[in-house]
Structure 1
């Protein structure tokens, strides 16, 4: 199933880009009929969604993307009511492909499944696992003890929402530090990619590499075939990690756990600060 998702997302992006290009070419030569206008109404908002994510304005969207759904319904209505459909069925074909592709993206591709990893629930002791620094040095999760930490398991540099979320945390690093919370960012991506990312930020967050998915396997966070098809030829693997955020106290006990079931739905940085104020302040003193 995940393999199908990794291929789907690439094909869907190609579809909406080629559809917009074709509509633009047609409009240059003659006015567009209702069917082609419908294809444009379908393709443009879907295209904009991905552009918006890569612009890194926010690290999250609504779960069901209601505005996009409204645009999808409007576009498919124009396609289906086009009186010239019999003479030119291509708008009908493209319109349906984009419509159902968008529905699949919203409700199928984005869904990570039900996640209820008991070992990562609030109140549990953080399991012991091994990581590596970007320079290849070993690091045990036991070394987190003695301080409160925000642990973010992110998919990789290729994931725009992950990069935006890391940027949000970096922007609030001083606030977290004042509350006694250190930040550790963990990914199974290659060490070279993690080094590239670490160099982008000037705040002292710690970056770690989950080499060979040792930690992810121990914590049951492996997302098999979670990387979009083709990115392995750009230095990424095929598997990744399920986006997860944990906050642990100085004793290594989990006081906050976000195991999102939708990769587009992520916690706000203010939640981390509120947890630090409420559960790491008076509770630990």
Structure 2
């Protein structure tokens, strides 16, 4: 199923981009009929959604993207009421592909499955696992003890919402530091990709590589075939990690856990900052 998702997202992005290009080309030669206008109305908001995510404005969207769904309905209505449908069926074909592709993206592709991982519940001790530092050293999760840590398991540099989430945390680093919270950013992506990412930030966050998915497997958060198809040719693997945010106290006990079931829905920094204010100082081992 995840393999199908990795192929779907690439094909859907190609579809909306080619559709916009084709509509733009047609509009240069003659006025657009209702069907092609409908294709434009369908493709443009979907295109903008991905542009907006890559612009890094926010690390989250609404779960069901109601505004996008409303414009999808407007677009498909124009396509279906096109009086020239019999002479030119392509708007109907392309319009339906975009319409149902958008629905699939929102309600199928974005959904990570129901996550109820007992290992990550609040109050649990963090399971033991090993990570790799950017210096090539082995770092045991036992070494987290003695300080409070915010652990962010992110999918990779290719994920725009992950990158925005990291920038948000970097922007609140002073607030976290005042509360005695250190930040660990963990990804199973190749070490060279994590090194590239670490160079972008001047705040003292610690980047780790989850080599061979040792930590992800221990915590049961491996996202099999979660990397979009084709990115392995750009130095990425096929598997990734399910986006997860944990806040642990100085004893290694989880005091906050976000196991999002939708990759577009991420916690606001204020959520774990408030937990840190309330729970860390009085947390017991």
Give the shorter-chain TM-score range: over 0.9
**2:251/2:284 contact within 8 Å kept:** no
The whole-number CA distance in structure 2 between the counterparts of 1:113 and 1:273 is: 27
Structure 2 SS opposite 1:265: coil
String of CA shifts for 1:183-204, please: whole Å, max 9, x gaps: 0000000111111101100000
The whole-number CA distance in structure 2 between the counterparts of 1:166 and 1:272 is: 14
**1:152/1:186 contact within 8 Å kept:** yes
Q: Which residue of the partner structure matches residue 11 of structure 1?
A: 11
Q: Which residue of the partner structure matches residue 144 of structure 1?
A: 144
Q: Which residue of the partner structure matches residue 179 of structure 2?
A: 179
Matched, 1:99 2:99: yes
Q: Which residue of the partner structure matches residue 33 of structure 1?
A: 33
The whole-number CA distance in structure 1 between the counterparts of 2:60 and 2:69 is: 17
Structure 2 SS opposite 1:82: coil
Matched, 1:238 2:238: yes
The whole-number CA distance in structure 2 between the counterparts of 1:272 and 1:248 is: 11
**1:150/1:182 contact within 8 Å kept:** yes
Q: Which residue of the partner structure matches residue 170 of structure 1?
A: 170
Matched, 1:229 2:229: yes
Any unmatched runs of 5+ in structure 1?
A: none
String of CA shifts for 1:87-141, please: whole Å, max 9, x gaps: 0000000000000000000000000000000011000000000000012110000
**2:19/2:43 contact within 8 Å kept:** yes
Structure 2 SS opposite 1:150: strand
The whole-number CA distance in structure 2 between the counterparts of 1:135 and 1:88 is: 60
Matched, 1:45 2:45: yes
The whole-number CA distance in structure 2 between the counterparts of 1:8 and 1:151 is: 30
String of CA shifts for 1:50-101, please: whole Å, max 9, x gaps: 0000000000000000000000000000000000000000000000000000
The whole-number CA distance in structure 2 between the counterparts of 1:124 and 1:284 is: 12
Taking structure 1 as the reference length, the TM-score comes to 0.99
Q: Which residue of the partner structure matches residue 203 of structure 2?
A: 203
Any unmatched runs of 5+ in structure 2?
A: none
Q: Which residue of the partner structure matches residue 275 of structure 1?
A: 275
**1:42/1:71 contact within 8 Å kept:** yes
Matched, 1:60 2:64: no
Matched, 1:23 2:16: no
What displacement does 1:142 show? 0.1
The whole-number CA distance in structure 2 between the counterparts of 1:283 and 1:144 is: 15
What displacement does 1:283 show? 4.0
Q: Pairwise CA RMSD of aligned residues? A: 0.9
Taking structure 2 as the reference length, the TM-score comes to 0.99
Matched, 1:113 2:113: yes
String of CA shifts for 1:213-237, please: whole Å, max 9, x gaps: 0110111010000000000000000
